[in-house]
Amino acid sequence: MAKTAAKKKGEGAPPRADGRKALLLYLHPEVTLALKKAALEVSKPAYEVAEGAIKEWLRRRK
């Protein structure tokens, strides 16, 4: 079965209560594995560790 055309604006998953939005990133497998291991070490979800690192990087760029 062929993939359908891009979804129209407003279609897809319902909005999250916390306001977060999905972002697809392609990472090398070793980076993904290291992120998951680091997140386990600090008892946090990987997305929180990644978001914290991105926020820090953005803060330093200013």
Each domain of the chain, given as residue ranges in start order, spans 29-61
What pLDDT does 40 receive? 98
Q: pLDDT tier at 12 (50, 70, 90 boundaries)? A: confident
Mean pLDDT in residue range 2-18:
70
Across the chain, the runs of DSSP E, i.e. the strands, are none
**What does pTM read for this prediction?**
0.73
Mean pLDDT in residue range 20-46:
97
Give the chain's count of helices (H) and strands (E). Answer: 2, 0
Q: What is the DSSP string of 21-37?
A: --------HHHHHHHHH
CB 38 within 8 A of CB 49: yes
- Nearest CA among 17, 42, 15 for reference residue 53: 42
Mean pLDDT in residue range 15-34:
95
What pLDDT does 21 receive? 93
